[in-house]
Amino acid sequence: MIVNDKELHKLNDSRQELIRDFDKGYINEETYKQRLKPVEEEINQKVRMLLESQKEQDKKLEEARIKMDEENKTEETAPAEEVKKPGRKVSADTYASVIGKVLMQKSVINMDAAVAKVDELKPGREKKKNVTQIKTIIRLAKAGKGRWANYTWDDTAFLLAEKTA
């Protein structure tokens, strides 16, 4: 801690002068001890006073910080109905979602029609990638894995259907 107290600096300077005078032999040991004792007591008293004021200031700052944190915490806490439930939500705009919707349509009867419909609904992707992803979704639906575990695949109708409970 850096102390910017003029009175404390003056006391410390007078203490240093006493030490120098004693070292040079200007004053004897008894005079040195008599003069040094009140100066050191005053320095110690001043230091205690400064430490107490610093503690009070730190305490006020801590209380202000805690109060500010509590205010921020109450503002950040959302009501119970607004809190999102855990779990991953799949965007309806992804290629997988679009492909899933296309494969559920009865008008799509083969792979070429499915690729054309996906390209129509969400253009801008290579047809080869769409074919690969359609095949992957069909394979996952047949195996009942991942996101597609709730669906069944019918090869004869080329149709993806949700499982009934």
pLDDT digit string, tens, across residues 128-147: 999 999 999 999 999 988 88
Do 59 and 67 contact (CB within 8 A), yes or no?
no
pLDDT of residue 16: 92
* Number of domains the chain is built from: 2
Q: Kindly state whether residue 81 falls inside one of the protein's structural domains.
A: no
**Whole-number average pLDDT of the chain:** 86
Q: Which domain holds residue 54?
A: 6-69
Q: Kindly state whether residue 75 falls inside one of the protein's structural domains.
A: no
Mean pLDDT confidence for 77-96: 67
| pLDDT of 83 over the 60 cut | no
pTM of the prediction? 0.47
Mean pLDDT confidence for 80-108: 79
How many CB atoms neighbour CB 107 within 10 A? 7
* Nearest residue to 118 via CA among 109, 110, 127: 127
Q: How far is CA 164 from CA 20, 114, 119, 152, in A?
A: 98, 24, 30, 10
Same domain, 113 and 59: no
Same domain, 63 and 111: no
Same domain, 59 and 112: no
Joined together, the tokens standing for residue 138 give 């069909």
